[in-house]
Structure 1
Amino acid sequence: MTDQSVIIGGSVTPKRVDRSARREEILAAAVRVFARKGFAATRIDDVAREADIGKGSVYLYFDSRDALLSAAFEAFAARSRTVLQRAREGTGPPLERLGSLVRSVLAALAEDPELAHILLDLWSSGRAQSQLPLDMPSVYSEYRTVIAELLREAEAEGTVRQGVGQHHATVIVGAVEGCLLQWLLEPRLPITELAEPILEVCVEGLRRRKEA
């Protein structure tokens, strides 16, 4: 909390401002504007107008558009790490944890469609990878690694056929990303309902067939 001065009845009265809440309000406003106008076309003035505050107030919390962009994706990145950790350290059967992972990823994207639109905007604008708010190669690599680990666990317990691994994990990640891209271009698609078809096509086909 911090004090700001307001004039009431001719006298100066301190006003308490919740800095954490104000920061989140500014971030939410920035995400809405970035998604609506595109990052390149957005100015700090636009964010201030969306948040219904002065431009100077934005700079009290963020010194640039890039700082706003990075902060907007921090919570999303943290949520992704939690989803991966849960899949990796869970106690259920590996294929069940893989199913939960795919469902959680699609649900998270459905909850934050504006962030997904911002990433698509940045990619399509040709923004260099080093300038993106997320290290996407590392994100993809981590997802592939965890999924490959789950598939190898399933192979070890005899649930899937032998030879599954990194390449199969790459295909599963590609299926999720492909559905995401289609959903961004055609929002009427039920993104969260696509988890089961992805699992049926990409995972169920890997199950070890019972001998006749």
Structure 2
Amino acid sequence: MPKRVDVAARRSEILDAAVRVFARKGFAASRIEDVAAEAGVAKGSVYLAVSSREELLTAAFDQYRARARAQLALPSTGSALDRLGALIRAAVAMLAAHPDHARVLLDVWAARSPIDMAAVYADYRAAIAELLREARDDGHLRAGIGPEHAAVIVGAIEGCLVQWLADDRVRLVDLTEPLVAVCVDGIRR
């Protein structure tokens, strides 16, 4: 009797293996064979899960994007600035918990890929801009703070991420509270 394979679980294992390989070797240098070896499956099993290396990258990135979207669905209790602080803490914790996904992001930024990074950033900017609008309406923001500051806050998080990935002396989790101090307390009235 043939062995039954949980297709969804196998696909998830392959995607996780792909992220590890892409993080270690870079997307351009990675091959389907590398992903198969990392996942402990035959090359054909990878092709049963995805049709190409680009689709593998897209599917792996979709996992990351789902995690990122979950961070945006934080509870709506507390002031807007308290929720902004919680969002920053959650984003940093998510990135720190998945360093291979973060490394793959660097590769995605550097190369032309099928990944729509602009959409991910737009989601974060929109969520942060809404919190800033609410904080302004509640009278909690310093004068001159507007929706354009959402891009600055996202940039601060991403800048810390890049430093963490580039320099192993930098610990991303240690930057969480300084990020909150600058990006939340720094704009508070």
Matched, 1:29 2:17: yes
Alignment partners' CA distance in 2, 1:141 and 1:74: 15
Segments of 5+ residues of structure 2 without an aligned counterpart are none
Shift of 1:34: 1.0
More helix per residue: 1 or 2? Answer: 2
SS at 1:14's partner residue?
A: coil
TM-score, normalised to structure 2's length? 0.92
Question: Alignment RMSD, CA only?
Answer: 1.6
Q: 1:53 aligns with which of 34, 37, 41?
A: 41
Amino acid at match of 2:99: P
TM-score, normalised to structure 1's length? 0.82
Equivalence map 1:1-212=2 (5 Å) = 13-86=1-74, 90-124=76-110, 127-128=111-112, 131-133=113-115, 135-208=116-189
Higher RCO (C-alpha 8 Å, min separation 6): 2
Alignment partners' CA distance in 1, 2:144 and 2:133: 9
SS at 2:74's partner residue?
A: helix
How many residues matched?
189
Instruction: Please identify, of 170-179 and 197-206, the stretch whose mean Cα deviation from structure 2 is larger.
Output: 197-206
1:38/1:121 contact within 8 Å kept: yes
The runs of at least 4 consecutive aligned structure 1 residues that moved more than 6 Å come to none
Which residue of structure 2 lines up, in the alignment, with residue 4 of structure 1? none
Amino acid at match of 1:169: A
Instruction: Please identify, of 98-107 and 155-164, the stretch whose mean Cα deviation from structure 2 is larger.
Output: 155-164
2:133/2:147 contact within 8 Å kept: no
Shift of 1:105: 0.7
* Percent of residue pairs bearing the same amino acid type: 57
1:7-39, Cα deviation, whole Å (9 max, x unpaired): xxxxxx322222222111111111111111111
Shift of 1:184: 0.6
2:81/2:131 contact within 8 Å kept: yes
Segments of 5+ residues of structure 1 without an aligned counterpart are 1-12
Structure with larger Rg: 1
